[in-house]
Chains A and B, each alone.
Chain A
Amino acid sequence: MWELIEQNRRKSKIVFFAMFLVLESLSILIGLSIYSPDGGYWGALFGFLIWIIQSMIAYYFGDSIVLSVSHATKVSKESYPVLHNVVEEMKIASSQKSMPEIYVVNDEAMNAFATGIRPEKSAICVTAGLVESLNRDELQGVVAHEMSHIINRDVMFMTFAGVMLGSINMIAKGFFYSTMAGNNSRRSRLGSRSSGGHPAIIIATIILAIIAPLLAQIFYFAISRKREYLADATAVRLTRYPEGLASALEKISGSAGNLVFYNRITAPMFIINPMALTDGESLLDTSTHPPTHKRIAILRQLQNGGKVSFRDYQTVFSKENGRSRLIPDSALADKGDVAVRSALQTDSEPVTVSNKARKITDMIMATNGFLFIPCTCGLKMKVPPTIGKSQIECPRCGRSLTVPSVTSGITHTGEKTKPVEGVNSSYLRTNPDSWESCLCSCGHSIQLSPLFRGRQVICTKCKAKIQIDYPE
């Protein structure tokens, strides 16, 4: 793992200087084609300034920019205990010293990303939809993948590469707009000075201004794809359970496109690119990430093989992708076997507090004779047996539904009985829009539904009438 980090650092520096050279050559050429030869110096200075300013902004503010564009809010351990625990488990498994901050985006679509130039100042962000829909193994796979990006210094690398790409694009575009706009006026103004550069230089500049952004883009995407595979490999080495990440990716790819808050810049940072699934325009953007089905296939083969060291990932990767080498040889020195573990969570439904509570209340209602009436809009209504109506309106869509076999005076066994004359007691509802219990004099408790607006209930045990009053 440490070899990957070292390799990343080295590659970052190489990318840094290579793209800096491209940037400087482009700006020098542009300068030369405007004023020659002073323009060259001005161009160099200008290019350098752009690069420095953008790098500093990315380094100091990159994190906060991405987090605010995505509308992410920091969450406490109390509100998301499982998420915090999963992140901390991964922090322990990767021997990290500091814990990343945890952010949640309030979006139903499932997705996740990580920010952080250094592990000491990093953050992992997931959507609310993701936390609710994944089970513990899948959540762990996603968190491990994001942490791997931080550990492998991918964020640092891709940020600097992205800044380079942005600067080159900006300068090239600026050049084209200025030549198109100011062509005539500039010629006439420059009359006395050494006029615009040699035609050969201008041609070279135009060529470079077209090629450089394209090359930088291709370079950026190729690196980005490689980083995703490496993050997958590191993630399964941490969790020892490739199936978790595989099924998480499957679930996410079904829903990632519905994400609301992202733009062209933040889209590639997510675990699955949300743009890749929506616009047709983003044909180029899809290539920031390798195809999801390939990632899943590799992970499932690893799960079947039973071993998850880097060497195993490399073997499966080469099978899928031909001769390509992903992991440097120095990282393949894992002499021991790294075996797969068994699943942490065996049931498929995510075990959240609300699910458990709902199951329990359904059970209680069923034993008390409640009627479960599903509406076609998807709402499942739970109607108390004493509702006294034969038609009710769905509170969500307004459809009128028949309540099966409910007539006034019915007990929970479904038979009609004669109500006892005379009301024994009355009950004032304090909160008509939620569940309430009222106690009959015989000791039996009666549940009153938030939908219930009847004026009388009949105790199922002793058949006593109870009057229900409502506040003004």
Chain B
Amino acid sequence: MIFALILLALIVLCFMFFIGIYNGLVGLRNRVKNAWSQIDVQLKRRHDLIPNLVETVKGYAKHENETFTKVTEARAKAMNAGGGSVKDISAAESELSGSLAKMLLTVESYPELKANQNFMALQEELSSTENRIAYSRQAYNDEVMIYNNKIEMFPSNIVAGMFAFARSDFFEIEDKSEKVAPKVSFN
């Protein structure tokens, strides 16, 4: 009689333990999803900042039209790539970063613009946004690591297998320009 009671208690305990693990896994998976959407929030913030920045620079650097159109096009492309795959998003965003960098390079030749209060505030906002994008990616990768660890380690891997919790992928931005080494020829 007592033996049966003890066995029952043990089974109930195991059951509660597994429920705890399952809930934990669900919580972690949701954190990963949330972290992903945070990246989107920061990317959108960058998209919203750009028109203002372009207008301010246009006021001083009236003849750099090509740079401005490139930035505006890249921005439109990035906004369209919004809901797509990680590859598309990261490709569009790095193109936008590239055209922005070129535009900021032209700013160097306009010292009045560099000293303009409005422009300096916008530049601070822009560099902060770049930092925020980087940190939201970092936070996303941290969450993915925690989640993947939980899925793969014992004993939570049992529960994970039972309910088909899948691994998440890290968010890696492929910057092709970084990987290609410059060719030097002496002809």
Contacts and interface: CB of A to CB of B under 8 A. Distances in A.
Interface of A: 2, 81-82, 85-86, 88-90, 92-95, 240, 333-336, 344, 353, 356-357, 360
Nearest to A335: B149
B interface, by DSSP: helix, strand, loop or mixed?
A: helix
Contacts of A90: 135
Nearest to A357: B115
Contacts of A85: 124-125, 128, 131
B53 to A, nearest CB: 15
B35 A95 contact: yes
Nearest to A239: B135
B124 A81 contact: yes
A89 B115 contact: no
A89 B139 contact: no
B120 A353 contact: yes
Nearest to B150: A333
Top 7 closest A-B pairs, CB basis?
Answer: A85-B128, A93-B135, A92-B135, A95-B139, A89-B131, A336-B145, A92-B136
Given A90-B135, A353-B117, 6 more contacts: A85-B128, A95-B35, A95-B38, A95-B143, A335-B149, A356-B115
11 contacts: A81-B121, A81-B125, A88-B128, A89-B128, A89-B132, A92-B42, A95-B31, A95-B143, A335-B145, A353-B117, A357-B115
B135 to A, nearest CB: 4
Contacts of A353: 117, 120
A81 B121 CA distance: 8
A92 B42 CA distance: 10
A356 B114 CA distance: 9
B138 A240 contact: yes
Contacts of B111: 360
| B-side interface size class | 20 to 34
A344 B135 CA distance: 13
Nearest to B42: A92
* Chain A CB within 10 A, most for which of B131, B136, B149: B131
Contacts of B132: 88-89, 92
B172 to A, nearest CB: 12
A345 to B, nearest CB: 9
A272 B139 CA distance: 28
Nearest to B121: A81
Contact of B139 (A88, A93, A334, A336): A93
B139 A356 contact: no
A344 B145 contact: no
Given A95-B31, A95-B143, A240-B138, A333 B124 contact: no
Contacts of A93: 135-136, 138-139
A89 B125 CA distance: 12
B184 interface: no
A50 B124 CA distance: 50
A269 to B, nearest CB: 26
Contacts of B34: 95
A89 B135 contact: yes
Interface string B167-186: 00000000000000000000
Interface string B104-125: 0000000100010100110011
A112 B83 CA distance: 41
B59 to A, nearest CB: 18
A363 to B, nearest CB: 9
Contacts of A88: 128, 132
Contacts of B131: 85, 89, 344
A92 B139 CA distance: 7
B153 interface: yes
Contacts of A357: 115
A139 to B, nearest CB: 12
A207 B164 CA distance: 61
A58 B128 CA distance: 36
Contacts of B149: 333-335
Given A89-B131, A335-B149, A356 B120 contact: yes
A88 B124 CA distance: 13
A81 B120 CA distance: 11
A94 B149 CA distance: 18
Contacts of B125: 81, 85
Which interface residue of A88, A94, A95 has the most chain B CB atoms within 10 A?
A95
A93 B135 CA distance: 5
A20 B131 CA distance: 46
Interface in B71-108: none
B117 to A, nearest CB: 7
B145 A94 contact: no
B123 to A, nearest CB: 10
Contacts of B115: 356-357, 360
Contacts of A333: 149, 153
B136 A82 contact: no
| Interface-centre pick from A2, A86, A335 (highest chain B CB count, 10 A) | A335
